[in-house]
Amino acid sequence: MYGMSGPYPVRGSVSLPEAELMWRFSRSSGPGGQHVNTSDSQVELRFDLARTEALPEVWKARALERLAGRLVDGVVTVRASEHRSQWRNRETAAVRLAALLAEATAPPPKPRRPTRIPRGVNERRLREKKQRSETKRGRTGRDWG
């Protein structure tokens, strides 16, 4: 892993500015052990999407629209508490946020151009269908005796 205080790349040359990230630390839930009740290893990372200057306007509009359900006053929040060390949880949260923003700012997929079914394919299907019907018709047990 790379060192903390990284710029976390979103896509291309755009990355998350460390100054705009708001960190909060709290105790993780889950089974304990020695030291667990005193260490704030759960990480909550908040990023003000509505007011950021780091993302191009087009990206920002796209992200605000796509993440509308996750935003609280234009702020997106990511939590990480898998690891026992706060440092690794910080890494995880930052990488997760960068991935979330990369997905939310991605350009929409190109519309699908409908293609026609080649005539040969259709003819072959009909021919095979006819053949199958002949086979089955031949199975009627009139002549067996």
Residue 60 CA: distances (Å) to CA of 20, 49, 66, 97: 15, 7, 10, 14
The answer to whether 98 touches 8, Cβ cutoff 8 Å, is yes
The three-point CA angle 67-70-71 to 5° equals 85
Under DSSP, the state recorded for 38 is: T
**98 has a pLDDT exceeding 70:** yes
Q: Is the pTM of this model over 0.75?
A: no
**CB distance 37 to 27 below 8 Å:** yes
Q: pLDDT-derived band of residue 62, with 50, 70 and 90 as boundaries?
A: confident
Rounded mean pLDDT, 114-141: 91
Tell me the per-residue pLDDT of 24-58, one tens digit each, with 9 for 90 and over: 888 766 666 666 666 777 888 888 877 777 777 88
Mean per-residue pLDDT, 62-87: 82
